[in-house]
């Protein structure tokens, strides 16, 4: 009984603040900290705010590009590691999980230092080879996409590798016995089995990239993503407009996460 009560209290502690944000997004008043029932006006104001819509578009573009890159290279890495030795796989497995476990602020600082060091070497070379006055490499969309791709690639690798290892190897052997070329085997046998995991990895990578604030804060330069915009806005005070856009983000993130989970379990019959 006490264990059930403890679990209930823990989940209430975790999710009650999120429920309050959703509730306060329907506030009829102008304060984001006192509730007055009930209105949906702040959703309209949030989506009518050009700064919010620009930040939303930037976040969506970054999340889509980084998820696409992470999914492509993460899937290739999984198949590459399948052919590697046991010790090599153990080393890369450790590195993959480290990329997930390491705090975001450490990744953000590390990528910031790496980009600055790279720019200090590359920009003088570009000036020397192409002449001064040309645009120089700087922080912006490309650096955020690169940083998010490296971070979310580890998530894609874990999901896809789990599916690849659970794949029925007898089908691959049967395809080889029938003299099917490797590319045809991949297209007709392997890809249909791992496609849900690939799509699940893409959705999860998109969600993590879209919601990320810490890494983007260090490497975004002058670009403003939606989490950065929200952080800048709440420093001036919390408004129902921020609660409304936060509610939309929560709903979209949960939808993507549940879809990702469903795709992972669909082939296993869970």
For 123-162, the pLDDT digits (tens) are: 888 777 776 666 677 888 899 999 999 889 998 998 888 8
- Token pair 């580890």 is found at 154
DSSP code per residue over 131-151? -TTSPPP-SSHHHHHHHHHHH
In a domain, 211, yes or no: yes
In a domain, 56, yes or no: yes
In a domain, 169, yes or no: yes
For 51-99, the pLDDT digits (tens) are: 888 998 999 999 999 999 999 999 988 888 877 778 888 888 888 888 8
Torsion sign across C-alpha atoms 111, 144, 256, 6: positive
* 50/68 Cα distance (integer angstroms): 27
User: For residue 116, with 0-12 CB atoms within 10 Å meaning exposed, 13-18 middle and 19 or more buried, which class applies?
Assistant: exposed
Domain span including residue 109: 52-236
Q: What are phi and psi of 66, to 5 degrees?
A: -70, -40
Question: Residue 71 has what pLDDT?
Answer: 93
- How many domains in the chain? 1
What residues are paired with 37 via a beta bridge? 27
* 255/261 Cα distance (integer angstroms): 10
- Please name the residues in contact with 128: beta carbons below 8 A apart, sequence gap of 6 or more: none
Q: What is the mean pLDDT of residues 164-186?
A: 74
DSSP, collapsed to helix, strand or coil, labels residue 168 as: coil
For 22-37, the pLDDT digits (tens) are: 888 887 777 666 777 7
Question: Residue 207 has what pLDDT?
Answer: 87
Question: Residue 132 has what pLDDT?
Answer: 64
- Please name the residues in contact with 144: beta carbons below 8 A apart, sequence gap of 6 or more: 62, 66, 215, 216, 219, 220, 223, 225
The answer to whether the CB of 228 falls within 8 A of the CB of 122 is no
For 210-238, the pLDDT digits (tens) are: 888 899 999 988 888 988 888 888 777 77
Question: Residue 65 has what pLDDT?
Answer: 94
In a domain, 2, yes or no: no
153: domain CATH number?
A: 1.10.3720.10
Question: Residue 14 has what pLDDT?
Answer: 81
The answer to whether the CB of 139 falls within 8 A of the CB of 115 is yes
Distance of CA 170 to the CA centre of its chain: 34
Using 50, 70 and 90 to split pLDDT, how confident is the model at 17?
confident
What residues are paired with 55 via a beta bridge? none
Nearest to 32, CA basis, from 242, 236, 230, 227: 242
Nearest to 210, CA basis, from 248, 164, 172, 176: 248
What residues are paired with 27 via a beta bridge? 37
* 221/216 Cα distance (integer angstroms): 9
Distance of CA 15 to the CA centre of its chain: 21
In a domain, 197, yes or no: yes
In a domain, 175, yes or no: yes
What is the model's pTM? 0.82
In a domain, 270, yes or no: no
Question: Residue 270 has what pLDDT?
Answer: 44
In a domain, 253, yes or no: no
């Amino acid at each position: 009984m006490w264990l059930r009560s403890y679990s209930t209290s823990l989940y209430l502690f975790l999710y009650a603040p999120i429920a309050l944000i959703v509730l306060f997004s329907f506030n009829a008043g102008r304060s984001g900290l006192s509730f007055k029932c009930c209105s949906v006006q702040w959703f309209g104001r949030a989506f009518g705010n050009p700064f919010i819509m620009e930040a939303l578009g930037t976040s969506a573009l970054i999340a889509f590009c980084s998820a696409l890159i992470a999914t492509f290279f993460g899937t290739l890495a999984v198949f590459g590691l399948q052919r590697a030795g046991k010790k090599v796989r153990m080393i890369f497995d450790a590195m993959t999980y480290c990329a997930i476990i390491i705090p975001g602020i450490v990744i953000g600082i590390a990528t910031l230092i790496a980009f600055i060091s790279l720019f200090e070497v590359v920009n003088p070379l570009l000036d020397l080879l192409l002449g001064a006055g040309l645009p120089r490499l700087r922080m912006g969309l490309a650096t955020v996409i690169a940083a998010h791709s490296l971070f979310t690639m580890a998530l894609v690798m874990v999901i896809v590798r789990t599916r690849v290892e659970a794949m029925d190897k007898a089908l691959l052997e049967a395809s080889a016995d029938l003299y099917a070329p490797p590319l045809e085997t991949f297209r007709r046998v392997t890809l249909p089995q791992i496609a849900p995991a690939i799509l699940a990895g893409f959705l999860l990578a998109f969600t993590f990239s879209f919601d990320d604030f810490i890494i983007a804060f260090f490497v975004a330069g002058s670009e403003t993503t939606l989490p950065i915009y929200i952080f800048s806005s709440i420093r001036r005070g919390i408004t129902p407009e921020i609660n409304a856009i936060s509610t939309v983000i929560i709903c979209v993130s949960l939808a993507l996460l549940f879809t990702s989970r469903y795709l992972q379990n669909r082939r296993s019959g869970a």
